[in-house]
Amino acid sequence: MSFFKKLKESIATKTEAVTNIFKEGLTKTRTAFVEKVEELITRRKKIDEQFYEELEEILIGADVGVNTVMQLIDDLRVEVKKRKIEDASDLQPILSEKLINLMKGDDHSGLRMAPSGITVILFVGVNGVGKTTTIGKLAHKFKSEGKSVLLAAGDTFRAGAIEQLEVWGQRVGVDVIKQQSGSDPAAVMFDAVQAAKQRGVDVLLCDTAGRLQNKTNLMEELNKIFRVIQRELPEAPHEVLLVLDATTGQNALSQAKLFGEKSGVTGLVLTKLDGTAKGGIVIAIRNELSLPVKLVGLGEKMGDLQQFDSEQFIHALFAGLIQREDAEETEKKAE
C-alpha cells in the first residue's frame, strides 16, 4: 500500500469537517511549499546535487528551519542511496513520511485536563500573537462540549486587554473575572480561582501580560501567578500554553525557545496558520523543541481553533498529490 493511501486511511476515522478545516487553513503553505516541490520534481527528474540544493531552498523558504532542513536532506540522501532511487518522483512519499516522523515526536497533543474538579489553563506570549482570541475560541470549544468555563483577565497592563477579553466573554457567553487596569495580576488569579471553586466550573482560562519575554519582571510575575494558583489548587495549572503567531516564522521559534526555558511552558498554540505561506514553522518548532504543539489556529471562525494532529497537517499539505493518486487508481480500475 502506498504511503499516501496509508495516510488517507489513517485519517478516515477523523471527522470530514476537521479534515476540511486543516485543508483550507493550510492552502497558502501548500501552494508555497508542496507545489514548489512538485514543480522541482517535474522539472529536474533526476536526483543530483542541484536537486538537493533547490529542495533545501524550498524547505528553508517555507520556514522549516535550517537545522531541521539539514537533518531532512541528510536523511533523504541516506534513503536514496539505500533504496537506489534515481527518479525524483519516487522521493515525494519518502519526503512526506520523513516530515510526519519529524513532527510526531510523542504526539501527546491533547490538552491535559484535571481528572476531577477544575482544570486551569494559563496562556503566555508576547502581545499581538492572538492570545485573547485563542482564549475566546477555546472557551467556545469547551462550552460546545458541555463544560462550564470561566475567564480570568490577568493581562492588567496592556490598554484594552481586559475589555477585549470581556468582548469574547460576551460572544461566547462566559463570565470574566477582572480587576481594574494596572492591578496585580496575581490578585486577579486569586479571585478567579475562588470564583471557579464557588461556582464549581470545569475550566478556568487565564490570560497573562504579554510584555517581552526577556524582561525578568514578567517572569517574576508569572512565578507569582503560579504560586497563587498552586496554593489554592496544588495540581494547577494543568497546562501553560505559549501562544505564537505562525506568520512571524523563525521569530516564533526564537520566542518559543526563550519562553520555554523560563516559564514552565507545557505546550504551544500556533495562531494564524491560514494567513501564512510559512506553515513549515510547525515542523521546525516540533522538531527543534521538546514542546508539543497542542492547538492550531486555521481561520477566523470560532471552530477554526483545532487540536493539532500531525497526520491531518501532512494530509492537508499533500492533499493535491493524494487526490491525483486516487484519480490514477480510478483510471486504472476503469481500464
Of all residues in the chain, the percent with pLDDT exceeding 90 is: 27
Q: In the structure grid, which three cell numbers stand for residue 4, read together? A: 499516501
* Bond into 237 cis (ω within 30): yes
- pLDDT tens, position by position, 185-223: 899 999 999 999 999 999 999 998 876 555 566 677 888
Among residues 2, 51, 4, the alpha carbon closest in space to that of 317 is found at: 4
Judge whether 34 and 320 are in contact, CB under 8 Å: yes
pLDDT higher than threshold 70 for residue 100: yes
Say if CB 216 and CB 164 are below 8 A apart: no
Alpha carbon distances (Å) from 334 to 8, 68, 165:
21, 42, 57
Is the backbone of residue 201 left (phi > 0), alpha (psi -120 to 50) or beta? beta
CA–CA separation, 116 vs 122, rounded Å? 18
Q: How confident is the model at residue 15 (pLDDT cuts 50, 70, 90)?
A: low
- Number of C-alpha atoms within 13 angstroms, CB side, residue 211? 15
Read off the pTM. 0.83
pLDDT score of 230: 92
pLDDT band at 238 (very low <50, low <70, confident <90, very high): very high
Domains and CATH numbers, the chain: 3-107+315-334 (1.20.120.140), 119-309 (3.40.50.300)
Nearest CA to 137 out of 125, 118, 123 is that of 123
Task: For 56-87, write each residue's pLDDT tens digit.
Answer: 988 888 888 788 889 889 988 998 888 888 88
The CA distance from 132 to 305, in Å, is 13
